[in-house]
Amino acid sequence: MTTLIILFAVALLATFAGFFAPPRSVKIVTLLGMLTALVGLALTWGDRATAFGGLYVADAFSQAVTLVMVVGAILALLADCGYFERKGWPAFEYYALVAFAVFGGHVMASTAHLGVLIVGLEILSIPLYALAASRRDAAGYEASLKYFLLGAVAAAFFLYGIALYFGSTGSFVLGATGKGLVFNAAVLMLMAGLSFKTALTPFHWWTPDVYQGSSTPVTLFMATVVKAAAFAALARVLVAVGLTGPAFYAFAAIVLLTVFWGNLTAMVQGEAKRMLAYSSVAHAGYIAVALFGPNPAPAMGFYLLAYALSTGLAFAVLAELDDGAGVPLEKLAGLWGRSPLLALGWTTALLSLAGLPPLIGFWGKYLVFVEAAKNGQYLIVALALFAAVIAAYYYLKLLAVALFGKPVKAEPVKMSGSAPLGIALAAALVLLLGVLPGIAYGWFSAATVLIK
């Protein structure tokens, strides 16, 4: 309950502070609020709180996911874009919308009631439709409109799934028993709606366009916060209904399609943000592999944190290189000579995303694959592992361009505002939690997906 109140207060504060304070102060207020939320999380860590007659349940899993979301939001706030300052924005709404989205994500992660779940989903999504347009140019509007239209279709699918779930079980609470055609249709529709938000193939079509068209800090936010919240909801739904029968085959097909399609299409992209967008699709597939295990919550929480830190770091570096027209691969060339800090962050992020030890990304992959293997899903694990090996190719290609490429113009990158702090912090965490993964795993080990 504390976290819910803090996050809501931060969102309100950011909204109203914007009326009389300059955007810079609103940013500081929002950042301080997110740090307060971290403190609140730490103080109540492992406690279980219920409110509103059981509609809101803050258990260990919801805290784990909220931790990931708050960390992602802090990274997104710290990552400044050079063109933000030149164009005189983001305006204060930017920070308020970020805070509201995190609040919505927390609501989504902390309930077993489908009605509350979709309200949380909309509190998360509606600010993001607006954030996607924050670049205020043709590309930004295109990204925003695509995200909005496809997001609304996904919400409609999810909602129809809820209606069918209610019809076949007589309840909106997850865990109700049901069977028959209507129930199976309900599960498949809920799965489709959430697969859209998590960007699982074949519901990922919006991802590359939206990630590329949004301003880079917003992309960072989408890749970390939205993924975490949507996976929390997906895990709650799928574990409660049980991955058996048609749901199992449908989901296994979705996951395997995702890891291969994401990685194979990433290879042929010529734009760094678009490449990382396809990489985010592939990573969604790896996270989903954990759902085939007996208790996916700890592995999933760890992977979400690992992914948020690594991809957050990568996008924070790209935000510095982005001058408003995206980051074609040539812009990365010779990064080492132009800015050692950015090059170091980029190297750490990509090696972690590729899953090389001793970085945090390796342990994330290890945990989800072991989790699925516990239930004997060796085929899924082997295929996902194979896809992960293929993926190393394009991560190393991105890395090689940055380290060995010849720069078009060799001037040093001018870093803005708080970005160096965010990059250094994220890189340190990726390395530290990679060397000592037991610390982070300890935070998540008590989590379970089912709300009893």
Please give the residues from 200 up to 219 whose contact with other proteins meets the rule CB under 8 A: 208-209, 212-213
At closest approach, how far in Å is the CB of 157 from other proteins? 8
At closest approach, how far in Å is the CB of 40 from other proteins? 27
At closest approach, how far in Å is the CB of 172 from other proteins? 6
Segment lying near other proteins (by CB under 8 A), choices 15-23, 46-54, 147-155, 422-430: 147-155
Q: With respect to other proteins, which residue has the nearer C-beta, 90 or 296? A: 90
Contact 255, 288 (CB under 8 A): yes
Q: With respect to other proteins, which residue has the nearer C-beta, 185 or 446? A: 185
Q: With respect to other proteins, which residue has the nearer C-beta, 401 or 423? A: 401
Choosing from 271, 375, 415, 445, the residue that interacts with other proteins (CB under 8 A) is 271
Choosing from 31, 41, 108, 139, the residue that interacts with other proteins (CB under 8 A) is 139
Question: What length is written for the chain?
Answer: 452
Q: With respect to other proteins, which residue has the nearer C-beta, 139 or 255? A: 139
Segment lying near other proteins (by CB under 8 A), choices 44-52, 136-144, 371-379, 427-435: 136-144
Is 264 a binding residue for other proteins by CB under 8 A? The answer is no
Please give the residues from 160 up to 189 whose contact with other proteins meets the rule CB under 8 A: 160, 162-164, 166-167, 170-172
Choosing from 25, 91, 142, 435, the residue that interacts with other proteins (CB under 8 A) is 142
Site size for other proteins (CB under 8 A): 42
Buried b (16+ CB within 10 A) or exposed e, 64-73: bbbbbbbbbb
Contact 321, 80 (CB under 8 A): no
Q: With respect to other proteins, which residue has the nearer C-beta, 313 or 327? A: 327
Is 227 a binding residue for other proteins by CB under 8 A? The answer is no
Q: With respect to other proteins, which residue has the nearer C-beta, 401 or 447? A: 401
Choosing from 42, 137, 412, 439, the residue that interacts with other proteins (CB under 8 A) is 137
Is 118 a binding residue for other proteins by CB under 8 A? The answer is yes
Choosing from 94, 95, 129, 221, the residue that interacts with other proteins (CB under 8 A) is 129
What residues line the site for other proteins (CB under 8 A)?
115, 118-119, 122, 126, 129-130, 133, 137-139, 141-142, 144-146, 148-149, 152-153, 155-157, 159-160, 162-164, 166-167, 170-172, 208-209, 212-213, 268-271, 274
